Amino acid sequence: MEASVLQGLEITVDETPEDGGVPVVSLTGEIDLHTCPDLRTALQGIMDRGHHRLVLDLAKVPYLDSAALGVLVDAVRRARENGGGIYLVQVAPFVQRAFEITRLIKIFELHPGIAEAQAAAKQAKAAEDDEK
């Protein structure tokens, strides 16, 4: 597991979950204009290593702004271009409201917990594998 704290945003990455699921990126702190470059770099790095299905744990993210939403939209676009997806979990009410107001809730999958997101990611991968 890899962790980094940059400009007040802590990013912890578990690229090898015990159950063989997709990587989990846990975020702690506010995601805004000042911290979103770090998030963008972290997500790009994970995807550059071949992981195109990611679980983003937002349980400890009390706030995000439009710059953060832009980073997440770019990440989901890149993931989907490569046959993957972004699965958001434990989204705080204020943060969920930002997704609802901007209607971005339509392009992200929100799940109550990591286990549910992992199951959805595995199911999507299995469905994709069946199509091949």
Beta bridge partners of 25: 13, 56
Based on its alpha-carbon atoms, the radius of gyration of the chain, rounded to whole angstroms, reads 14
* pLDDT tens by residue, 49-99: 999 999 999 999 999 999 999 999 999 999 999 999 999 999 999 899 999
Q: What is the pLDDT of residue 83?
A: 92
CA distance 92 to 59: 6
Residues in the chain: 132
Band of residue 4 on the pLDDT scale cut at 50, 70, 90: low
* pLDDT tens by residue, 17-30: 666 678 999 999 99
Provide the mean pLDDT of the chain.
89
pTM score, two decimals?
Answer: 0.87
Residue 131: pLDDT over 80? no
Domains located in the chain, CATH noted: 2-131 (3.30.750.24)
Residue 128: pLDDT over 80? no
Cβ(19)–Cβ(50) below 8 Å: no
User: What is the b/e burial string over 6-35, where b = at least 16 CB atoms within 10 angstroms of the residue's CB?
Assistant: eeebebbbbeeeeeebbbbbbbbbbbbeeb
Q: What percent of the chain has pLDDT over 70?
A: 91
Band of residue 1 on the pLDDT scale cut at 50, 70, 90: low
